[in-house]
Amino acid sequence: MSAIDWTNIYQDYKGLWVALKDDEITVVGSGKTLREALESARKKGFHDPIMHRVPTEVIPYVGSGWL
């Protein structure tokens, strides 16, 4: 399993919900709410997309938090 580069998704959809195709890269819908993004994708014929909320900022995290 390799990492997926979502840099462009972050830049274009910061703070929004996005609906993704199965390739986990192609955005098929977006909106301010989950419902808006899902309806946008369904209008384009994608009835079961992967839903993701794009963060407003990227915060680095290293470690497990367990001491």
> pLDDT by residue for the chain (67 residues), tens digit each?
678 888 899 999 999 999 999 999 999 999 999 999 999 999 999 999 999 999 999 888 777 766 5
CA angle 6, 38, 4 (to 5 degrees): 15
Q: Dihedral angle at the C-alpha atoms of 51, 11, 33, 48, nearest 10 degrees?
A: -20
Per-residue pLDDT at 56 = 93
Domain boundaries, the chain: 7-53
CA angle 36, 41, 42 (to 5 degrees): 95
Per-residue pLDDT at 20 = 97
Per-residue pLDDT at 36 = 98
